[in-house]
A and B are shown apart, each in its own frame.
Chain A
Amino acid sequence: MKYYRFELHTHTYHSDGAFSPEELVLNTKAAGLDGIALTDHNTSSGVPEAVRFGKKHGLLVIPGIEWTTFYGHITVLGGHSDIDWRAVRPDTVCELLAAARGAGDVAVLAHPYRVGYPVCTGGMNEFPREIFGSLDGYEALSEDVGTPTNKRQLEEYFRLSAEGYRLAPVYGRDWHRPSNIRFAVTELGIEGDLNVENALEAIRQGRTKITSDGREIVVGPARRAK
C-alpha cells in the first residue's frame, strides 16, 4: 500500500467556482497533489472535461458531485450513480445514499459544522442522525484548518468513531478559486495501481489520513495523530 495526496472537494465554473476544469487540474498539479475529486454543486457536467485534462497533465480525477441540499452537503464520489439531488431530503437521504453506494460510489459528509443558513444554506449538517450510518467518510477538517468550526468537526468525528460509526476521516478544501488558506490534504492508502476504483476503495476501507504541512492530524480509522 502507498499513500497518495488528494483534494477530494473541488469546484469549477460548472457550478460557482472560478476555475475552468483545466485550471483546476493545473492548480492541483502545482500544489503537488496526485489527484482530485471534482465535486461541483449539484452537477457533474464538468467531469468529462476534467478527466480529459487530468489524463493530459498526469493527474487522477475522480468523478463526483456535491449534493448541495437545503439540509446539508454531501460529496458523492465515483460517478456511478445518477441521483437527482433535488430528491435528497431528511426523509430520503439514507435511502438515496444507499442507492449511490450500491451503484459503486462513496459518500462523504461535507463541512458538517460550516456556518449555516442564512450565511450558507445547508452548510451545517441538519440531516437526521441516521445519516452517520449511511456514509463512507466525514470531513473532519475543511477549508482553512484554523477556523473555529473545525474544532467541532474534529470532536464530532472522534465522538462518532467512539460510538462505533465507521467513517474515513477526510479533509475538504472546498476549493473554489485560488487562495492562500491554511489547507491540509487527504492521503489515500491505495493498494495496487493509482486509479479511481482503488482510490474509492481506500475511502471505503478507511485507509485515509489528514495531513497538513507533512504533519499527520487524523489517521483512519479514527486515530488521533500524536
Chain B
Amino acid sequence: MVIFSKRVAIDPSALHTHIRYEFDSPADGEKMVVRYSYSPKKYTGGDAAALARSAFEKAYPEDVPVRDADVCSALPLNNHITLSLEKEGKLIGTAHRHSPENVFEISSDSASPGFFPTAVEKGRYAVSLAVHAILSDAVTANVEVEII
C-alpha cells in the first residue's frame, strides 16, 4: 500500500534548507519501502567552471594559484539532495548518497545502509530532503513510501 507520494520542484531558493513532509501509516507493516529520485543530477550551466574556480580560490592559500586541472577535477558540478526518515519525530536514519536514484527498505530486523532497523507501525512518519547543493534552475524530486 502506497502511503505517501510527492513530486516536488526544488529551485535554488531552497539551497541549504530541509524540506520536510509528514505522513501517516494507517496500519502496521512488515517493511517500509522508500523510493527516492531527483533530476537532473549534473549541472551543465556555462558558469560551472567559474563557480568551481571560485570555490578553489576561497580554499587555497593566496600564494598557490588554482590550476585548470584542479578546476576540471571538480567538474561536472552536481545537485545533491539527501533523504532522511523519521518515525514519531525521531530520526530513523539518513541516506547520504550521491546517486539520484534510490530505494531504501526498513523493517524491524533489517534496514538499508544509513537507516536503523525499525518496526513499521501505524503512526506518524516524515521524510525530509536536505538540499546540500542545487545549481540547476529547477530540480524535480520524487518520493514514494509504501508499506508491505
Contacts and interface: CB of A to CB of B under 8 A. Distances in A.
Contacts of B80: 121
Interface in B78-106: 80, 82, 84, 91, 93-98
B59 interface: yes
Interface residues of A, number: 32
Contact-residue bracket for chain B: 20 to 34
B24 to A, nearest CB: 21
A124 interface: yes
B6 interface: no
Contact of A45 (B43, B98, B113): B113
A198 interface: no
A16 B74 contact: no
Interface string B50-69: 01100110111100100000
Contacts, number: 91
B64 A151 contact: yes
Contacts of A16: 96-98
B69 to A, nearest CB: 13
**Which residue among A45, A118, A151 has the maximum number of chain B CB atoms within 10 Å of its CB?**
A118
Interface in A66-82: 68, 70-71
B64 A148 contact: yes
B119 interface: no
Interface of A: 12-16, 40-43, 45-46, 68, 70-71, 84-86, 113-119, 121-124, 148-149, 151-152
Given A41-B96, A43-B115, 8 more contacts: A40-B96, A115-B55, A118-B133, A118-B135, A121-B16, A121-B80, A148-B61, A151-B64
Interface of B: 16, 18, 43, 51-52, 55-56, 58-61, 64, 74, 77, 80, 82, 84, 91, 93-98, 111, 113-116, 128, 130, 132-133, 135
